[in-house]
Structure 1
Amino acid sequence: MSTLGRLITIHQPRRLEIGAGAAAKVGEWADFSTRTLIVATAATAPYAERLGLSGAVKVIDDVPAEPDLPAFESVLETARSFQPDLVVGLGGGSVLDIAKLVAALWNGKQSLPDVVGPNRVAGRTTPLVQVATTAGTGSEAGIRALVTDPETKSKMAVESPFLIADLAILDPELTYSVPPAVTAATGVDAMAHCVEAFTNIRAHDLIDGYARMGFALVGKYLKRAVEDGSDVEARAGMMLASYYGGICLGPVNTAAGHALAYPLGTRLSLPHGLANAIIFPHVLAFNQPVAALKTAEVAAALGLRDADSQDALKDAAFGFCRDLGIEMRLKAHGANADDLGCWAEEAHAIRRLMDNNPRDMSVADVHAIYKEAY
């Protein structure tokens, strides 16, 4: 059934630059800026020199992989002291999320808890540039930002059109140094965004188009990017796949896959991409009975052969991820079997995502998936 008659809203960056050397476009675009705050990590901060910025530049290089509220507030305090007229996110999804929130909140009266949820950000007056250095989250394309609550270990999710970038940069040269294991895991994360939006109960024909392009690019380029990190075509293809996934998140969002992945990040400290890769085969197969045609499209795009049944599909998708070099067993990552039940309850309670899933998933179903992944 067509969904073209259903109202959706899509927000995209006002300008996108993609291709080798695109990072230098930041300086050309930001000729108005005299005070630039760059939010980065120790690994991505050296790329600041490629942006071509002039004037006073302050680089924050210690954003953690899974930032919590105190980490965000530390960056916010630095921003308020520096008083930037431009904020640049330079890194992976966590960095880009922090940059979004800092640009929107540093010169206002709202705190992060004030803006958790949809459409609570009062506005933004500081321009925002997002420079992706991984191909996974698609955060540079989106209106959402996630920060961990240190007390509950849950994700504080902010959604607002005021978080969209004025300029997004996809420069494949900035991903050359990403290790193969990280390339693989973040690539599966990008694919999961597209697949979960594609099979979502809120799926829309327009977003289906972006999703199809996204997981097709993953099927074509992810293995190449893992095998040769300097393959510029593969790296650019994966950055575009990630960007498409970010577009999918806005009007549709993810579903059970990401809900199950979040406790693995907050409780087990797994990187977000790795957590999603571990969960991906299990949720793809779980949803297959109610999304057979779309799941078959995904399987074909990824080259998953003889995947008609749930078990065969799970095995094929598991093999796809494993063959990229991803360690798929939770036990190998330090998980304790006794914790799986609590994690299942926690994941099941993330209704903003679980309610999007095409097939109802009980706490027992979640627990079973965790045990299979263990």
Structure 2
Amino acid sequence: MDISRAITLHLPKRFEVGTGTAARLGDWVPEGARVLVIALPVTAAMVGKLGLKGSVTVFDAVQPEPKDTCLDAALAAARACRPDVIVGLGGGSVMDVAKLVAALWNSDQTLADVAGPNKVAQKGALLAQVATTAGTGSEGGIRALITSSETGMKVAVESPHLAADIAILDPELTMSVPPAITAATGVDALAHCVEAFTNINSHPLIDDYARMGIRLAGRFLQRAVEDGSDAEARAGMLLSSFYGGLCLGPVNTAAGHALAYPLGTRAGIPHGLSVALLFPNVLGFNAPARPEKTAEVLTALGLQASEDPETVVQGTRAYCTALGIKMSMQDHGAAEAELPGWAAEAHAIRRLMDNNPRDMSVGEVEAIYRAAF
């Protein structure tokens, strides 16, 4: 927590937030530019809200937890239309694909060439990110995750060239998100902030972004779940998610996300829900190593401040349950026989596990899975 420690934070060049800001994108796009919108089928219906003019191509074949084959298809679409501007219109899956398409569509580099930190050579198009969910905060970060179809593991790419040229957070675009998805993605946003806040690499600059994200979730997540048309709550959660995204570049997440990845890639559980299912037990496990910060998190969520791991687990589990989340891995398709293998896989994700404030053995990872099962 030495404030003199060197740290690098990359931000979008332009940031628009508030009701109606999605329509400003058309004014930002250079006149005559060819635009490729990367979307899900459900978010492709929102293209008309962006105020785009001229040549617009839509690629809407992105799937949740996108694989490298999805990226290849998006790259082929880009090479066919030769875009000047790439627009990511969706949640984290869409925005991560958009980042990589903007960087690679006219490059000789492949996904394998750029995997890891600081290997992307260039950006081949302007990048606009328009969030339609409040969860990953991908619009604010410089990291993209794609699942390898060969190994089933996440491939992480990190580069300043993946930063958005404009990020737009318009609460109107999130109002159709169902309560269950609002809850799960909201806990994902919260977890980004919490994992960065309690990280061994935590830094005062990032701590303050994390605090704002945690407090916004504590204030607005329940409201957004209960009334999807609540513009203030939707905007608050978009900001919470954005702050979480800012935390990821310089600090990153830790064990919570490492443990969540096998649930997504192996069991097909959506990422936000995977994180939410494990959030109470991971926070409780780490509480002895970060007692004051854990107490601060609980207070922000309206819970009893405590350093006791079991109290932390019970309180945060009740918080997630009150959001309507079924807090059982088994209820969402996880198979008990798979837990030992998932534990070994999660433990091997050292780029995240090494950030955790407490060392976690393979056996302790499995114990967390079983407690959440």
Q: Same-fold call, TM > 0.5?
A: yes
Shift of 1:334: 1.4
Q: CA deviation at 1:306?
A: 6.0
Matched, 1:209 2:208: yes
Q: Give the deviation of 1:328 after TM superposition.
A: 1.0
What residue number does 2:344 align with? 345
In the other structure, the counterpart of 2:141 is: 142
* Alignment-mate amino acid for residue 125 of structure 2: T
User: 1:33·1:85 contact (CA, 8 Å) conserved in 2?
Assistant: no
Q: How does 1:116-127 map to 2 (within 5 A)?
A: 116-127=115-126
Residue 104 of structure 1, CA deviation: 0.5
Does residue 296 of structure 1 match 2:295?
yes
**Distance change in 2, residues 1:119/1:26 (3 Å):** same
Q: Distance in 2 between matches of 1:343 and 1:353?
A: 15
Cα distance between partner residues in 1 of 2:7 and 2:54: 41
**Counterpart code for 1:370:** Y
Q: Deviations over 1:327-371 (max 9, x none)?
A: 110111111111000000000000000000000000000000000
What corresponds to 1:72 in structure 2?
71
Give 1:150 shift. 1.3
Name the SS of the counterpart of 2:129 in structure 1. strand
Runs of 5+ consecutive residues of structure 1 not aligned to the other structure? none
**1:330-341 equivalent positions in 2, closer than 5 A:** 330-341=329-340
Q: Deviations over 1:253-286 (max 9, x none)?
A: 0000000000000001111100000010000000
* 1:33 positional shift: 4.3
Name the aligned partner's letter for residue 89 of structure 1: G
- In structure 1, what is the Cα distance between the partners aligned to 2:199 and 2:130? 29
| Corresponding residue for residue 173 of structure 2 | 174
SS in 2 for 1:269: coil
Shift of 1:307: 3.8
Runs in 1 of length 4+ with deviation above 4 angstroms?
none
Q: Aligned partners of 1:94, 1:102: CA distance in 2, in Å?
A: 12
Is the 8 Å Cα contact of residues 294 and 306 (structure 2) preserved in structure 1?
no
Match of 1:360 in 2: 359
CA-CA distance at 1:61 after TM superposition: 1.2
**Equivalent runs, 1:250-261 vs 2, <5 Å:** 250-261=249-260
Structure 1 residue aligned with 2:42: 43
8 A contact 2:288–2:307 mirrored in 1? no
User: 1:107 and 1:335 mapped to 2: Cα distance?
Assistant: 40
1:279 equivalent to 2:317? Answer no
- The answer to whether structure 1 residue 56 and structure 2 residue 55 are counterparts is yes
Q: Which amino acid aligns with 2:152?
A: K
What's the offset of the Cα at 1:32? Answer: 3.1
Partners of 1:271 and 1:214 lie apart in 2 by 22
**Contact 1:261/1:272 (CA < 8 Å) preserved in 2?**
yes
Aligned equivalents of 1:105, 1:362: Cα separation in 2: 38
TM-score with structure 2 setting the length: 0.99
Q: Which residue of 2 aligns with 1:3?
A: 2
Q: Which residue of 1 aligns with 2:320?
A: 321
CA distance in 2, matches of 1:125, 1:76: 12
Is the partner of 1:89 in helix, strand or coil?
strand
SS of the counterpart of 1:43? helix
Aligned residues of 1:17 and 1:168 also touching (Cα < 8 A): yes
**In structure 1, what is the Cα distance between the partners aligned to 2:106 and 2:68?**
18
Aligned partners of 1:118 and 1:160 also within 8 Å: yes
Unaligned runs of 5+ in 2: none
Q: Is the 8 A contact 2:97 2:144 kept in 1?
A: yes
Change (3 A) 1:8 1:145: same
Cα separation, 2, equivalents of 1:14 and 1:264 = 34
